[in-house]
Amino acid sequence: GNSVTQMEGPVTLSEEAFLTINCTYTATGYPSLFWYVQYPGEGLQLLLKATKADDKGSNKGFEATYRKETTSFHLEKGSVQVSDSAVYFCALTNNAGGTSYGKLTFGQGTILTVHP
């Protein structure tokens, strides 16, 4: 079955530091990959996505590249801000159709705290 593994957290950084959150996956076929962000007391928001190998998703200074050879989708940002403090989830969905179509499989989440 499908699974997503994220790096163990939490991650604590100073403002303007470089961020990497690792994500690897196991899936059949050719999944789409996502990063979601969850701010305290809120639901999940889609941060970025990539639908095929070598695609790069980007949004709000965050980037992630779909690497099929290493089954990875690591999240990066060159300079984090205090407002980036949140929980980040890597996820995938199977595009093969059937009853699992559109179902998201999530990693366990990584808590990011950015200090001024």
Which residues 45-84 are close enough to bind another protein by CB under 8 A? 45-46, 49
Strand partners, 56: 65
- Interface map 93-112 toward another protein (x if CB under 8 A): x-x-x-xxxxxxxxxxx---
Closest to another protein by CB, 20 vs 45, is 45
Pairing of strands 110-115, 11-14: parallel
Closest to another protein by CB, 84 vs 110, is 110
Shortest Å, Cβ 26 to another protein = 15
What are the distances in angstroms from CA 116 to CA 13, 27, 83, 112, 113?
9, 39, 10, 13, 10
| Phi and psi at residue 82, to the nearest 5° | -55, -35
Among 89, 92, 112, 114, contact with another protein (rule: CB under 8 A): 89
Stretch that binds another protein, among 20-28, 60-68, 74-82, 85-93 (CB under 8 A): 85-93
Shortest Å, Cβ 49 to another protein = 8
DSSP 32-77: EEEEEEE-TT--EEEEEEE-STT-EEEETTEEEE-BTTTTB--EEE
| Contact set with another protein (CB under 8 A) | 4, 36, 41-46, 49, 89, 91, 93, 95, 97, 99-109
